[in-house]
Amino acid sequence: MLDPQLIRNNLPDVVRQLATRGFTVNDAQLTALEKARKQCQTETEQLQNERNTRSKDIGKAKAKGEDVTALMESVNQINEQLKNKEVQLDAIQSELNQLLYEIPNIPHSSVPVGNSEEQNVEVRRWGTPKTFPFPPKDHVDLGAMSTLLDFETAVKITGTRFALMRGALARLHRALIQFMLNLHTEEHGYTEVNVPYMVNSESLFGTGQLPKFAADLFHIPEQNYYLIPTAEVPVTNIARDTIIDEEALPVKYVCHTPCFRSEAGAYGKDTRGMIRQHQFEKVELVQLVRPDMSYEALEALTGHAETVLQRLELPYRVMSLCTGDMGFSSAKTYDLEVWLPGQQRYREISSCSNFEAFQARRMKARWRDPKTKKPNLLHTLNGSGLAIGRTLVAVMENYQDEGGRIYIPAALQPYMGKVTHIDPC
């Protein structure tokens, strides 16, 4: 959520900056509601002052032994007026908040301006895509050769956009999780947390999924819980309604969870294989930092995700997302895109974002400045470190041979009982 004071004092500038995201601010409605809020607030304060004055008059009249019936009646009338004004002010503020909740974050000045992913800017590349002496297969065909990746049975059990893994491939999936968790906790200084996979609406509001993106979520109406779309939601909400001492910063969490997404806006996209599913797993990185450190933290967090790909020797590139392609809550985002030989293209495997104070304002997540002793809003960041399913796809396709054998990257072999490859049936 943007700072309401920023919108009140700099609305034309906010409108201009958000236009670069393709978002149109209803500035006329905002202005009208803000004017009504101020007027109602002024009238409320006037009534409060009048009530205070008359209450003092009652005290003076009583001291003189005078009849205070009329004064008491006038104070009661003012109290009724104040109750009505309170209801009116709450209604105006609620309507104003609904508008504010729908407004995305303002892009950082370093974010490239653009309308779609075609205007994203490549920052760097690592590794060279391998040249195969045969037409490389995609992960679906490779999985079918070994019978270890089974979509038909998953459809029978549940439906489309689900997968079933068996044997060595299931173990490889687990190995990736263990490898990433160990790397981030032992070398990058993150604290591992285990969190609920269902959250309440307050948590989803805090990180920006509600109210705008309710259609993308799996909702359990009986308990009013939601399946998490990403570990970002429960992990970041650890700081909700909390004040963290400055010496405890930065807070760095890593968490492995399943993720559940309805993919409501992805009809017809990536229907083949494991690229876009209703259920998948991620190792998520979350940082809570002082505002003056957040862009340094973004570079570091992105580097932590990159290290996973480098240790697995998977070619990738880093893209700076343009204003029109960023997520709702983000002020700046880097996407890591891994090379997939089966598709002959780079595909997103991680998004690393700085939300500045946008989420913290919604969550009331704060830190205490030791100089002023006052609480201030934190800056929050997160990134996939990495998406497990897509990493598995990348390993399968980059480490295949012509017969369908999949070789195990050296970094994963200790987690695979020193197995060096997976043979097709």
The whole-number pLDDT of residue 266 equals 64
* Residue 261 marked as a ligand binder: yes
Domain boundaries, the chain: 26-102, 117-422
* Residue 262 marked as a ligand binder: yes
Residue 390 annotated in active site: yes
Residue 402 annotated in active site: no
* Residue 185 marked as a ligand binder: no
The whole-number pLDDT of residue 365 equals 98
DSSP3 helix / strand / coil % (the chain, rounded to 5): 45, 20, 35
Residue 352 to residue 104: CA distance in whole angstroms: 17
Residues 6 or more apart from 200 whose CB is under 8 A from it?
A: 224, 225, 226
- Among candidates 399, 396, 403, 363, which has minimal Cα distance to 379? 363
- DSSP strand pairing (198-199 vs 225-227): antiparallel
The whole-number pLDDT of residue 267 equals 66
- Per-residue pLDDT in tens (0 to 9) along the chain, 425 residues: 999 999 999 999 999 999 999 999 999 999 999 999 999 999 999 999 999 999 999 999 999 999 989 999 999 999 999 999 999 999 999 999 999 999 999 999 999 999 999 999 999 999 999 999 999 999 999 999 989 999 999 999 999 999 999 999 999 999 999 999 999 999 999 999 999 999 999 999 999 999 999 999 999 999 999 999 999 999 999 999 999 999 999 999 999 999 999 986 666 677 789 999 999 999 999 999 999 999 999 999 999 999 999 999 999 999 999 999 999 999 999 999 999 999 999 999 999 999 999 999 999 999 999 999 999 999 999 999 999 999 999 999 999 999 999 999 999 999 999 999 999 97
Cα 147 to the center of its chain, rounded Å:
35
Choose the CATH number for 26-102 among 3.10.20.30, 1.10.3720.10, 1.10.287.40, 3.20.20.70.
1.10.287.40
The whole-number pLDDT of residue 265 equals 64
Q: Which CATH fold would you assign to the domain 117-422?
A: BirA Bifunctional Protein; domain 2 (3.30.930)
Whether the link from the prior residue into 211 is cis, omega within 30° of 0, is: yes
Residue of 51, 261, 361, 366 marked active site: 261
On whether the CB atoms of residues 195 and 235 are closer than 8 A, the answer is yes
* Residue 281 marked as a ligand binder: no
**143-181 in b/e burial notation, b at 16+ Cβ within 10 A?**
bbbbebbbbeebeeeeeebbbbbeebbebbbebbbebbb
**Alpha-carbon separation of residue 38 from 35, 50, 78, 94, 309 (angstroms):** 5, 18, 19, 14, 53
Residue of 290, 348, 368, 405 marked active site: 348
On whether the CB atoms of residues 110 and 332 are closer than 8 A, the answer is yes
* Residue 284 marked as a ligand binder: yes
User: Which DSSP string do the residues of 385-425 spell out, in sequence order?
Assistant: EEEHHHHHHHHHHHTB-TTS-EEPPGGGGGGGTT--EE---
* Residue 275 marked as a ligand binder: no
Beta-carbon neighbour count of residue 190 at 10 Å? 24
SS3 374: coil
- Among candidates 367, 397, 368, which has minimal Cα distance to 380? 367
The whole-number pLDDT of residue 213 equals 94
* Residue 382 marked as a ligand binder: yes
* Residue 202 marked as a ligand binder: no
What is the chain's Cα-based Rg?
A: 27
On whether the CB atoms of residues 224 and 195 are closer than 8 A, the answer is no
Residue 276 annotated in active site: yes
Helices (H), 102-200: 139-146, 151-157, 167-186
What secondary structure letter does DSSP report for 278?
S
Residue of 351, 353, 362, 366 marked active site: 351
Residue of 125, 276, 290, 405 marked active site: 276
Within 13 Å of residue 338, how many CA atoms lie on the same side as its CB? 30
* Residue 384 marked as a ligand binder: yes
SS3 79: helix
The whole-number pLDDT of residue 270 equals 76
